[in-house]
Structure 1
Amino acid sequence: MTILVVGASGATGSQLVEQLLIEKHYVKVIVRSPEKLPESWKTNTNIQIISASLLELSDNKMSEIVSDCNVIASCLGHNLTWKGVYGQPRKLVTDATRRLCNAVKLNNHQRPTKFVLMNTTGNRNRDLNEPISFAQKCVIGLLRLLLPPHVDNEKAADYLRIQIGQNNTTIEWVAVRPDGLINEEEVSDYEIHPSPTRSAIFNAGKVSRINVGHFMASLINDDDLWARWEGQMPVIYSKSHQD
């Protein structure tokens, strides 16, 4: 299986790539600074490193890159710096999701391409009308005003929910929502829920980045797991970090 991973140089994206390489998939990554990638990737014949800024690629080039991909996985996010949060591109995740999906449509494959988006528990799945407290609504409202990356995450998921939808013959999707991300060395037990089981603002849980990578890779590997969560926004928590 050939899989394109964008955001592969990030802390979670790199974990996803490692999990996919363990499963012997052929992985393409698009990165601006390939010199920062692990040396083991540069000598691995199962990985193709494309040095480019994703949103600066032409439509034709992007279509060419995804033409042989069965799956696209996005772990894109904004760097937690002033420029990363408030600078351009403000809609990095949304624009990348839209353009990658458009590139898939241009190729008109016989079978649907899978799209796995890393999102956040701070974003509600409005298909399920998930209840949140008035206080959390107020905080989320402030985040929308003050933190452009939060709006970007919301709009990226909304693009998949609304524009791609549930019955698209070209693209199938899952948006994975981790709670508070932490670093751990090994995969541990984790749990998956259709909606948050705790407040993302006032009682956040934790999940390791390697567990998120493992779950995203499992969605790609396991057709039954994919069928369970297709068109949904599952929430992931590490069991060892829940009360």
Structure 2
Amino acid sequence: MKLLVIGGTGKTGREIIKQGLSQGHVITAVVRNPSKVKYSHTNLKVLKGNVLIPKSYETSFQGQDAVLSALGHKKFIIKTTILSRGTKNIITAMERNNVKRLICITSLGVNDSKFKLGLYYTLFTIPFILFFYFLDKSKQEKLIMNSELEWTIVRPGQLTNGKKRTIYKHGKNVGHYLLTKMISRADVAHFMLNLLKQNTYLKKTVGLTY
């Protein structure tokens, strides 16, 4: 398949690119700083673009089969709207170029998965450290849900840099009210790429943890 990856310089985005190439996909990565993409492959094209500036990347959507978004934000930004504004632009570009399939990462603890990232996140981290970030994730999800795209929103638990296991839990009720469940970025990428092969979670949200 021809895949457009957003957020390809982040740790999860790099895993999506690496695993996607190993599976034979043709990947276009839209990134702000192409020099941060360390892979060189005949099936990989790296384009410079900023999701907040649609003109910088919109033509890259032409002819794509699906978009995989691992869009994040800069560290230590307290109040951010990058996710919602960027996703709104992505949706518009997909609609204009007739690209239907969108698989996007957000997080457990957002919208109707509130409290499922464990007590530590629910009572401390989200309200006192990541409040605006999770608020932006909430807006991001609602934009996707209200679109006409064939979307899936993947809500992982706490992300780690662990190895790919390919064995994990996924579904509507994944997560825990007391404990913080984890998942490696490698397995998040594995799950997202597998979603391209089936429609189980089409127009649905899905939690993902060990």
**Which TM-score tier does this pair reach, normalised by the shorter chain?**
0.7 to 0.9
2:152 to 152, 163, 174: 174
Question: Does the 8 Å CA contact 1:3/1:71 hold for their aligned counterparts?
Answer: yes
CA shift at 1:54, angstroms?
A: 2.4
- Alignment partners' CA distance in 2, 1:146 and 1:181: 15
CA contact (8 A) 2:31 2:48 kept: yes
Equivalent pairs: percent with the same residue? Answer: 21
- The runs of at least 4 aligned residues of structure 1 exceeding 4 Å deviation read 130-133, 135-138
Aligned mates of 1:206, 1:142 — CA distance in 2: 16
**Cα separation, 2, equivalents of 1:190 and 1:141:** 24
Q: Secondary structure at the match of 2:28?
A: strand
1:100-154 CA-to-partner distances (Å, cap 9, x unmatched) read: 11112223x3xx61001101001133xxxx6859x96974896289632111111
Which of 78, 82, 87 is 1:86 aligned to? 78
Which of 212, 232, 235 pairs up with 2:204?
Answer: 232
Listed as ranges, the matches of 1:66-215 within 5 Å are 66-80=61-75, 82=76, 85-86=77-78, 90-107=80-97, 109=98, 113-125=100-112, 132=115, 139=123, 143=127, 147-161=131-145, 163-164=146-147, 168=148, 171-199=149-177, 202-215=178-191
CA RMSD in angstroms comes to: 2.6
Structure with a larger share of its residues in helix:
1
For 2:150 and 2:5, locate their aligned partners in 1 and report how far apart those are by CA, in whole Å: 16
Give me the TM-score of the superposition, normalised by structure 1.
0.77
Contiguous gaps of at least 5 residues in structure 2: none
Q: Per the alignment, do residues 68 and 79 of structure 1 end up closer, same or farther by CA in structure 2, a change over 3 Å counting?
A: same
- Say whether the 8 Å CA contact 1:63–1:106 is kept in structure 2: no
CA contact (8 A) 1:195 1:233 kept: no
* TM-score w.r.t. length of structure 2: 0.88
Larger gyration radius, structure 1 or structure 2 = 1
